[in-house]
Amino acid sequence: MSDLDALLDVQAIDTRLDVLRHQRAHHPIQAEIDGIAAERRIAADAAATIDAERTEMVRAQKRIDDEVVSVRAKKDGAEAKLYDGSVQAHKELMAVQAEIASFGDRQTELEDAELEVMEQVEEIDGRLADARSAVTVYDDRIAVLEAELAVALERVDVELATVEAERLGAAAAIPAALLTRYDGIREALGGVGVARLSGGTCLGCGMTLSAVTVDQIKKLPPDAEPTCEECGRLLVR
């Protein structure tokens, strides 16, 4: 077997390695995880928006509650003033009673508003729970897929290690200068650095060489390293 024939075997191994590395970098399970992760981000954003809405409603409820406490204290103070005997004049008594009634109306108004806000918070809590539940479902699915991906990638890594060892053995039989030349061509030309010349056609690029070129290649000594005039790949006669 010539060095170029042996190099063709290395090329076959390198092609297998390229396929395995592509599988590892673009595994379909990873693509599925990425898709679900994108959906999770949308769900998480929705949950965050609802949570912000809830926070604002709770603040509104707190403001109303604080005002209820203040109005109730003012009402209690007016009632104490009414009944402790400190107010004697009829006109002043009437004014205090009017003030108490006003405080009572305001308290009722605030308590009604607070009840309405509480109902809105309850409704928001339901939506927030649903949104967070959706995020959890996505998280659980991603966790399952990541475990499956780890197992799948481990299998690929085992095969990669096996083929890489095979490549080391096959490459050891190739002269260093030829192997370096092949590696450079392979890197420049999409992973294929050597190809067989079959019936005048370069199987690397698919182009048919001229009859003159094919005849010249056939007449080269066995240790020559011909290349395709179209793509520049090493040719195995």
Residue 38's Cβ-count burial label (10 Å; 0-12, 13-18, 19+) is: exposed
pLDDT confidence band for 230 (50 / 70 / 90): very high
Structure tokens at 214: 């094919």
For all residues of the chain together, what is the average pLDDT? 93
Q: Domain map of the chain by residue range?
A: 20-171, 176-236
Residue 122 CA: distances (Å) to CA of 30, 45, 54, 126, 127: 39, 20, 9, 6, 9
Amino acid letter, 133: S
pLDDT tens digits for range 84-136? 777 677 677 678 688 888 989 899 999 999 999 999 999 999 999 999 999 99
pLDDT tens digits for range 16-67? 999 999 999 999 999 999 999 999 999 999 999 999 999 999 999 999 999 9
- pLDDT for 48 equals 97
- pLDDT for 91 equals 76
pLDDT tens digits for range 140-168? 999 999 999 999 999 999 999 999 999 99
pLDDT at residue 175 is higher than 90: yes
Please name the CATH architecture into which domain 20-171 falls: Orthogonal Bundle (1.10)
DSSP designation for 198: E
User: How far, in Å, CA of 229 to CA of 219, rounded?
Assistant: 16
pLDDT tens digits for range 185-225? 999 999 999 999 999 999 999 999 999 999 999 999 988 99
What is the helix (H) or strand (E) element at residue 197, kind and residue range? strand 194-198
